[in-house]
Chain A
């Protein structure tokens, strides 16, 4: 028989027993989805996370210190699990004078997001509170600084500049915001260009970030304690982090601060990247288990479907053999049934995985949607095809070795 004819009959057989075929197809589809879609969702989130980390650590010698587990600092708006204001101005002064420490900047985590009644209409606007001098250090080299920084000068990110002034040629222009009832005149010191801040979930409003000097925040002088610190060290960042963390632990112990089971943490760029990496590899491991499990289910169901083909179509297969179908024809017939199921499962799995990952990524703002990694898609497709073929081999072999006389005597 021609291969195309065998394929057509195999397709008709799958359609005929569509219930079981669908179950087997689902097994493969789940495996493909697990192997392709979920990692792709995590990839999207992780890539965005990595970009966020890079964004928040524009200086590789920078690290953040906080109480309890936390991610990042004010550069990215940060999201702290715990950030009780326990570090004092005295602590900061001591750290500033430590060997290898270049600068320390407190973060006002108590007022990271300010509700305001603004004269210029843009809301919600996120303010990240930062002293002037951090700009030189924290702004990546490709960020373009224009003009001089004057009193009450602020730095607007590109999108914020466009949003407020509909232009980026705004250095030196004045505008006013109203915050906590106070009118604060501001001057545009610089516009940050070529920046593509990440859109990590709720952090997507980073696009409208305006950096303003801490000193102009009303009541700043009355703040005595800070929840987290941004520290810039020399090249030996790990050692500097350890020294700062040890010092702060001692200070808190001396002051008998109730830490409620928390500890002082220091987090460098390297630490965060390692954490992201371990989360990625951990989640990948789980996903491979899911994918493997689904593939096993898919294999078993395909094998069952292929075996059921033998028993349900015994009459037909027998007559094909009696009428002169050779072993190759019958072997291929069952193999095509198995691989058809695999191919259908792969197609459904890929379509489903793309749709699901797109919907999940956009619905939960897990970052920019990323197409699945091609290597992973190819691996999943090849593996699923191999599994389908493997599941079909035994039933196909059984059929091809069938003695027609024996089967006729059994079924007649």
Chain B
């Protein structure tokens, strides 16, 4: 099937919500392996894994602990290099990329973590702004973006609150806003709802669903939660570092 990719012309930091009609491969992984340790202590986290992720996808990675979900997310997010295999992001191979290239690519990706990883001494606004500061976005633009994202995740009233005063659900919403501030091409979420109660879990998932639907941003999340996975368009099951099933 021919897929047509329509993109607006945008500068480095396009306004939130660029249009992606449908869908080229964002990620292609060919025979990716990742091995930790040496000698007798070798652990094979990923084993000859092949995977293609199309732009605009909303994908859940499921599997037991140690199945390789987090390692896979780290490789996709340029945090880890595969031991072997090809990793193509938008058609370009990053398997042998330098540290600097990986670093620059990480700025194209939004990360959401189970433990939020917010800076406690900064308020909501500054936490969200931090990512944009790192990537060098100009101040007027980033301030405007930050406030709009904070509004989108429903935390306008808390913009100047220190993050330690927030509930866990609110913290995760801050983390989502932070992940979006650079207008990423991919959002990687590692167990984003694991530390949340059911109400907050629903909130977070509805925000992610809406983001995917309205902006077309590709979201890949690792989860143990079947309920969460079922919200996604595609579910990949991992076991022992291999993709064993797809739904």
Of A1, A12, A315, the contact of B116 (CB 8 Å cutoff): A315
On whether the beta carbons of A323 and B107 are closer than 8 Å, the reply is yes
Interface residues on chain B, number (Cβ under 8 Å): 29
Instruction: Give per-residue flags for B107-122: 1 if the beta carbon is below 8 A from chain A beta carbons, else 0.
Output: 1000101111111111
Within 8 A of B (CB), among A178-228: none
Cα–Cα distance between A315 and B80 once the two chains are bound (Å): 17
A412 with B79: in contact, given A316-B118, A316-B119 (CB under 8 Å)? no
| B163 to A: closest C-beta gap in Å | 10
Of A2, A324, A408, A409, the contact of B103 (CB 8 Å cutoff): A324
| B199 to A: closest C-beta gap in Å | 23
Chain A positions near chain B (C-beta within 8 angstroms): 1-2, 5, 9, 12-13, 15-17, 313, 315-316, 318-320, 322-326, 329, 404-405, 408-409, 411-412
On whether the beta carbons of A323 and B111 are closer than 8 Å, the reply is yes
**Sample of 16 A–B contacts (CB below 8 Å):** A9-B119, A9-B130, A16-B120, A319-B111, A322-B106, A323-B111, A324-B104, A324-B135, A404-B79, A405-B79, A405-B80, A409-B70, A412-B70, A412-B113, A412-B114, A412-B191
On whether the beta carbons of B118 and A326 are closer than 8 Å, the reply is no
| A234 to B: closest C-beta gap in Å | 76
Is B74 an interface residue, CB under 8 A from the partner? yes
On whether the beta carbons of B119 and A329 are closer than 8 Å, the reply is no
Is B193 an interface residue, CB under 8 A from the partner? no
On whether the beta carbons of B121 and A16 are closer than 8 Å, the reply is yes
On whether the beta carbons of B190 and A405 are closer than 8 Å, the reply is no
| A400 to B: closest C-beta gap in Å | 12
Of B114, B115, B121, B131, the contact of A323 (CB 8 Å cutoff): B131
On whether the beta carbons of A324 and B133 are closer than 8 Å, the reply is no
Is B42 an interface residue, CB under 8 A from the partner? no
On whether the beta carbons of A322 and B119 are closer than 8 Å, the reply is no
Chain B positions near chain A (C-beta within 8 angstroms): 70, 74, 77, 79-80, 103-104, 106-107, 111, 113-122, 126, 130-131, 133-136, 190-191
On whether the beta carbons of A323 and B130 are closer than 8 Å, the reply is yes
On whether the beta carbons of A313 and B119 are closer than 8 Å, the reply is yes
Of B77, B119, B120, B133, the contact of A1 (CB 8 Å cutoff): B133
| B195 to A: closest C-beta gap in Å | 11
Number of A-B contacts (CB under 8 A): 74
Of A5, A316, A405, the contact of B117 (CB 8 Å cutoff): A316
Q: Which residue of B lies closest to A15 (CB)?
A: B121
On whether the beta carbons of B133 and A2 are closer than 8 Å, the reply is yes
On whether the beta carbons of A319 and B117 are closer than 8 Å, the reply is yes
Which chain A positions have C-beta within 8 A of B116?
A: 315
On whether the beta carbons of A329 and B121 are closer than 8 Å, the reply is no
B111, B115, B126, B133: residue with the most chain A Cβ atoms closer than 10 Å: B133
| A6 to B: closest C-beta gap in Å | 9
On whether the beta carbons of A1 and B190 are closer than 8 Å, the reply is no
On whether the beta carbons of B103 and A318 are closer than 8 Å, the reply is no
| B140 to A: closest C-beta gap in Å | 14
Which chain B positions have C-beta within 8 A of A319?
A: 111, 113, 117-119
Which chain B positions have C-beta within 8 A of A409?
A: 70
Which chain A positions have C-beta within 8 A of B106?
A: 322-324
Of B74, B77, B134, the contact of A320 (CB 8 Å cutoff): B134
| A403 to B: closest C-beta gap in Å | 9
Cα–Cα distance between A409 and B73 once the two chains are bound (Å): 12
Which chain B positions have C-beta within 8 A of A326?
A: 103
| A61 to B: closest C-beta gap in Å | 70
Which chain B positions have C-beta within 8 A of A318?
A: 117
Cα–Cα distance between A405 and B72 once the two chains are bound (Å): 11
| B87 to A: closest C-beta gap in Å | 14
Q: Which residue of A lies closest to B81 (CB)?
A: A405
On whether the beta carbons of B130 and A412 are closer than 8 Å, the reply is no
| B124 to A: closest C-beta gap in Å | 13
Cα–Cα distance between A295 and B201 once the two chains are bound (Å): 51
Can you add 13 more A-B contacts, CB < 8 Å, to A5-B133, A17-B121, A412-B70?
Answer: A1-B133, A2-B133, A9-B119, A9-B122, A9-B126, A12-B121, A15-B121, A16-B120, A315-B117, A315-B119, A323-B135, A324-B104, A324-B107
Which chain B positions have C-beta within 8 A of A5?
A: 133
Which chain B positions have C-beta within 8 A of A316?
A: 117-120
Which chain A positions have C-beta within 8 A of B103?
A: 324, 326
Cα–Cα distance between A412 and B188 once the two chains are bound (Å): 14
| B169 to A: closest C-beta gap in Å | 18
On whether the beta carbons of B130 and A320 are closer than 8 Å, the reply is yes
Which chain B positions have C-beta within 8 A of A1?
A: 133-134, 136
Q: Which residue of A lies closest to B127 (CB)?
A: A316
| B110 to A: closest C-beta gap in Å | 8
| A262 to B: closest C-beta gap in Å | 67
Cα–Cα distance between A163 and B117 once the two chains are bound (Å): 76
| A329 to B: closest C-beta gap in Å | 7
A322 with B130: in contact, given A316-B118, A409-B70 (CB under 8 Å)? no
| A398 to B: closest C-beta gap in Å | 17
A325 with B118: in contact, given A405-B80, A412-B190 (CB under 8 Å)? no
Cα–Cα distance between A268 and B133 once the two chains are bound (Å): 71
Cα–Cα distance between A318 and B191 once the two chains are bound (Å): 17
Q: Which residue of A lies closest to B34 (CB)?
A: A405
Which chain B positions have C-beta within 8 A of A13?
A: 121
Q: Which residue of A lies closest to B110 (CB)?
A: A323
Which chain B positions have C-beta within 8 A of A408?
A: 70, 74, 79, 113
Cα–Cα distance between A54 and B88 once the two chains are bound (Å): 87
Which chain A positions have C-beta within 8 A of B117?
A: 315-316, 318-319, 411
Cα–Cα distance between A313 and B74 once the two chains are bound (Å): 21
